[in-house]
Amino acid sequence: MIDPISLLDLTSLNDDDTDERIVALCEQATTPRGHVAAVCVYGRFGALAVRELRTTAIKVATVANFPAGDDDPVGAAAEVATQVADGVDEVDVVAPWRAHVAGDTQAVTRLVRACVDAAGGKALKVILETGSHPDAATTRAMADAALDAGASFLKTSTGKHGQGATPEAFAVLLDAVKAAGHGGVKASGGVRTADQADAYLAQARAAMGEDWISPDTVRFGASSLLDDLLARS
């Protein structure tokens, strides 16, 4: 059975982050049980993280259109292009969820397509901010739109607005990925304990099967989860 550490996007997205803090985060990403899938940092630290992790297999992820999720495809795509030019492997971009909820059902498609083009083949993880949606149908519609537009992953939340990941939202994202036949899922926002990670993995196994689970299909976005996983040796 896969170790959840290998599925972790070890994250620091604090307004007061410093170079020193990001260097320390990169050092923590390699553990006695193996390395995490990626480190996730603000775009201004992307090049630094790339340098720190250049001799490892750990990916560098940055964020764009974050955390607001503005309806600004041009601006979001420009952020993505800059970060990819810095050498990052993945970009987590916030979908324009407010625009979708307000009735513009093409907003997600426009922004994700622009960002996929800007990413130039790099993985694009689309943050839906599921805890702020009025119902599961809204989440599913946004998930379908993101996948159709080329998203590599569907991610629950920024962790900065409203409720974070929930089993209910995670189930909707899994169903959307299964129906599309491609993509991965990332639980983020309030995922702090090994037991929570186990529960999300159990959902993924039930929906998709054990063989489907890998760093290419399942991720956890968290800062404190690693310590709890390591404590369970």
Please state the domain count of the chain: 1
Integer Cα distance of 177 and 131 in angstroms: 19
Distances (CA, A) of 147 to 9, 69, 195: 21, 17, 29
Which of the four pLDDT bands, split at 50, 70 and 90, describes residue 162? Answer: confident
pLDDT of residue 192: 96
pLDDT of residue 233: 67
Note the pTM of the prediction, 2 decimals: 0.97
- Domain span at residue 223? 4-231
**Structure tokens given for 52:** 């720190």
What is the average pLDDT value for the chain, to the nearest integer? 97
pLDDT, tens only, 7-61: 999 999 999 999 999 999 999 999 999 999 999 999 999 999 999 999 999 999 9
CATH number of domain containing 227: 3.20.20.70
Which of the four pLDDT bands, split at 50, 70 and 90, describes residue 232? Answer: confident
pLDDT of residue 113: 98
pLDDT of residue 115: 98
pLDDT, tens only, 188-204: 999 999 999 999 999 99
Pairing of strands 153-155, 184-188: parallel
| Active site residues per annotation | 92, 155, 186
